[in-house]
Chains A and B, each alone.
Chain A
């Protein structure tokens, strides 16, 4: 049973560019949440997708957007990248309103 997978593993972008990160949830899960983890910090909630709609959103600007596909996989898009967007981006999946979330290994984004 595959767990949560994310791609790519690492990514280097230039300030002002746009980036798309991808996540496939654990088999049987239908809810995907995205988190940003800066170095030495705990993860910060970005948003959550359920039934292809954004259900909850954290305190992140509109430059951060997402999408969920019919197969429950999800994308995180960040526009107009800033140096401060450099972080580990984590995807977590769960089933419905069940609280237990399973995290993927993350995508390390570096903005230069």
Chain B
């Protein structure tokens, strides 16, 4: 079936480095993509999103890139900090008839980001 998956299950970086977390998706009908951060014992926290009609979107220290040709999504975190250590999930939701997805999110497996001081 359709799925969203990640290339790397773990990523270790030094404080101050830039981090890149990757995600592949298979549903060509995917219309909206979101990155979530989940810390231990907590629910997923929204980081940044991007619509399928965009290639890039920037937030505070984070950038999401979308390559629809190869169905690839990435999250870039600038100047990574120890507080960024968490599991990062990409998620997608497709556009359905009428142009509304109703927010049924399909999540990938997750990447564990560890930031060393």
Interface residues of A (CB under 8 A from B): 4, 31, 33, 35, 40-45, 48, 50, 55-56, 58, 90, 92, 94, 97-106
Contacts and interface: CB of A to CB of B under 8 A. Distances in A.
Contact of B46 (A35, A40, A41, A101): A101
Contact of A33 (B4, B104, B110): B104
B43 A48 contact: no
Given A44-B107, A99-B49, 5 more contacts: A43-B105, A56-B102, A97-B102, A101-B103, A105-B43
8 contacts: A4-B43, A42-B108, A42-B110, A48-B102, A99-B32, A102-B46, A103-B43, A106-B42
Contact of B104 (A48, A98, A102, A103): A48
A4 B43 CA distance: 10
Contact of B43 (A50, A90, A94, A100): A90
A22 B29 CA distance: 32
Interface of B: 4, 32, 34, 36, 41-46, 49, 89, 91, 93, 100-110
Contacts of A101: 46, 103, 105
A58 B46 contact: no
Contacts, number: 66
Nearest to B109: A42
A42 B103 contact: no
Nearest to B36: A103
A43 B107 contact: yes
The 10 closest A-B pairs by CB, nearest first: A42-B107, A103-B43, A97-B100, A103-B44, A56-B104, A99-B32, A43-B107, A105-B43, A45-B104, A106-B43
Contact of A105 (B36, B42, B93, B103): B42
